[in-house]
Amino acid sequence: MESKLLLLLTKIFHIALYALFYTGIIMRYTMGNIPHLLTAARILMAVDLELWYVQSLRFMISHSYLGPKLLMIKAMTRDLAAFLYIIFVFITAYGVVSRSMIMHNKVEFSIYGIFSGIFYTPYSFLFGGSDKVLEGK
């Protein structure tokens, strides 16, 4: 059962690679004169290129020198993802609590206002950017 699921996910990954590439090409050459769509096409093609690079790493796992190192990187990436999740939870918790206590009536009710108040300010505060953070500006 697990191998069928892995095979299905692999096929979906391969289809997604080609779909992203052709979608990016179509957007680039048919709607390239619209700046927003050109930027979206470039982003799609950059993500597609990155996924092709990840796909090419599958061939290096069988190499006797690089294979074990790639497996170590995979294990470290899993640990890093868990760490980033914990950091995300703490930054979100701090952002919600601090913004609700400091700026309870000043946060504009839009997606940008909410996310910049909750995520950007505590993130910059984490790295020492404390200018006027505590005053609510």
Q: Residues 37-58: pLDDT tens digits? A: 888 888 999 999 998 988 887 7
C-alpha distances (whole Å) from 91 to each of 26, 41, 74, 86, 120 are 39, 32, 25, 9, 9
C-alpha distances (whole Å) from 120 to each of 15, 39, 91, 92, 95 are 35, 24, 9, 10, 9
Q: Can you give the pTM of this predicted structure?
A: 0.48
pLDDT of the residue at 130: 63
Only one residue has tokens 């993802």, namely: 81
**Number of C-beta neighbours around residue 59 at 10 A:** 9
